[in-house]
Structure 1
């Protein structure tokens, strides 16, 4: 399994993602500069967190036009795996790979915290190492993480089981207090209908190293590795 991590001007989580795939899992990992368009040989492409192009205009609005992202769209259309984390999720919605949008947090504050998430579906590479309805803990760090979509889009996400992670309380219940940014449907992460593109606001790469005391995020990467090793 070969991994590529897109690097935009303003990315600040690209090395964190590479640390997981390269250093913890021992996978060949290539840093892909935003001006590059060659993703040949890559199985998984990660669009990392940060502030791509300074988040000018709006988060992800400029990054979607980069040569690297045009190649990511083609990679996804061929069935390649794409993971967008935080700003990467915002970029994926701007690029049309995922529906909806990420807007200002409900209370208009930047949030840096650890949150509980409920795993909604476990039959995809991203989540196969989790148990159904398992509650995990991952860090968040965003100012525009409130997921928004119109009623028809939300209904389609539910109907096609595209919601993979929801913000929740420690016991798995969905309460207003457990929804840190006001996301509709408590949505923290969604996939496309094919299941090969995942966008999520929480940071699994920041909960992967045992030295940090939490490896809930590592299971996501291990699931992808297991799936690709058997040719899924």
Structure 2
């Protein structure tokens, strides 16, 4: 893999095991297309995801000492959501260094939020395995500093799913919220998901996206707009 040293300078960490950083940057499409035994980044992504939640949670706990558990949870969700992860990943230009199949790359894989977010989590997991807790913590806090500050100050994009859940539950009534997939279009490596939000069986807004998470956020956003027009009688 080329330019590993270049990426290591960007992230401020030099790997002792180059195999780990290479695995963190290997998308599953590379193995499917090349028919190799190259390990992809999915297991490292799992590890990095868990570590990221813990580190961000600890940072918020120490920085936001006067807020409730619910506020801490909501703030963390803003920081570790796919959109935020992809933004940080782009700051390091991680897509440039990834190994992926030609088909995935040809359809914009190096700039897809889902792939970039997963790769960043895998990179965090790889740093943890290579350098231990403190190395991974240092990288994570440094990489996410602007995002953490933005989430704490409220100057960051909204988590529409959390917002609509709070709005629907504000009346004190128990509500059942579901995101229903209407259809999927496109090949397996480049799908678009279309879905709508239902509350107690009543259809509200619809949305679409390249991942189900993105489509759900867009459906929640459109549902919020509908409900805000109906206030004060939300449903």
Q: Same fold (TM over 0.5)?
A: no
TM norm structure 1? 0.28
The structure that has the greater radius of gyration is 2
Q: How does the TM-score come out when normalised to structure 2?
A: 0.27
Higher-strand-fraction structure: 1
Q: Which has the higher helix share?
A: 2
